[in-house]
Structure 1
């Protein structure tokens, strides 16, 4: 079986978030027709795996099996060294049902204060999985290391961006011009690996 993504083909993005689908389309240089699992009324699976790659594969395989089409899924989040990698795969859940990341960032700061941790090392991970309906699945992972800063700075980006300073920089993802951030973000690094594996 030829595990390649042919330009012009349709890909199902295993998400119910139209914004994420647009981002995927842009990261794939507009060479694919992207439809969302949400637009196809596919239910979201329970994320029961213990790693980003595991959850990305679970979501991709679930959507591929239900749609009968090639599916792409991602799972991403923030890991903090002093918190033993938390929030990690629970990054979105720390923001609660309303996805309030101001609350999630406060929770990170509170946990660090509770344990008296001076260590501010952290990293963002993005795992991308592409699954075919008949079983094969390819998964890659992009990581960006950095450190946390409090209080949050900047109103660009999303999620935990205002407390994360990438390695070698002095601005948070919330302060950086989005084009500069996306030039080498964890998701961009993952897509670079995906393109090398399945497109180039």
Structure 2
């Protein structure tokens, strides 16, 4: 079985996905850290006002220090999990067919070609990997085409964002430019016609 896609009714491929050096994951995590920092400061300030009935500059500084410690602790935990436990990568299986997207995210074992192979820990974009037969753990997800409003291509990271409303229904990582282009054409060909935006209709017709 090939790890690359087939250009017919079904596209299917395996891909290695970086974690701690992945720009998209890092942007998500940075957003979470900002929210945690703001929430921690707000919570401490409100508690001080409720129990102390006063608020000074020292209280705000103490709240900021506490929030910063929480953020640093969360960042350290993310780094430990990403680089030490998962070696900065996981394997994903994607399948696009007439029904929609099937995705299986898999954690590698420590055997040959698995987490013990450090040479695959320094990517920042998705990369090609062989099929993973016996994952240590896996999580699956299905997204039917009727839930996809449009596909947003991110060429720099070889990633397709399947947008649904104001959110993202799925991220589709591609190991090379050829897979990226074929998956983009396939997805746009299967999105309901009335769900495509103007620019996407033009690209589909060109």
TM-score between both structures, scaled by the size of structure 2: 0.22
Structure ID, larger Rg: 2
Which has more helix, going by share of residues?
2
Q: Greater relative contact order: 1 or 2 (C-alpha under 8 angstroms, separation 6 or more)?
A: 2
TM-score between both structures, scaled by the size of structure 1: 0.22
